[in-house]
Structure 1
């Protein structure tokens, strides 16, 4: 069982500031009829995932999963895990 805080804010900008001041950043959710505003806000939120008009409890194996800040490092799932868990290197071999 978890506890969720609800904060009253006066503007979308203040909502972004309050959300980004959190130590964690796994997932965020924005509920609004204004999808242009929601997309703009989502691009500014410091979270690994952001769901518009949907709950934060969502998983899709074809999408990268992971958070920011104290919510973890890196992504797993989908092709994103290849970049997260591998190191690209260039190695050449000259004939002896």
Structure 2
């Protein structure tokens, strides 16, 4: 191989291959970095959603307790109204 054919081979074959491989390598690294950033954002959002779900569950538990208490109060109120009605009827019978 003479000097001109070697130079031709380096410029026409070797340098384009090197440029192609380095470009491909940089693109892969860039995509990998972007995916890592995306995963980090998703993980932080998941953590935030988990905390929100815990708060919502606690709120639901307290609301369920309040509803149970309200039902008990309603039942007691109905019983008191019935007792009052009975007392009124008893008083009417006596007079």
Higher helix share: 2
After TM superposition, the score normalised by the length of structure 1 is 0.22
After TM superposition, the score normalised by the length of structure 2 is 0.22
Higher strand share: 1
Could you say which structure has the greater relative contact order, defined with CA pairs below 8 angstroms and 6 or more residues apart? 1
Larger Rg: 2
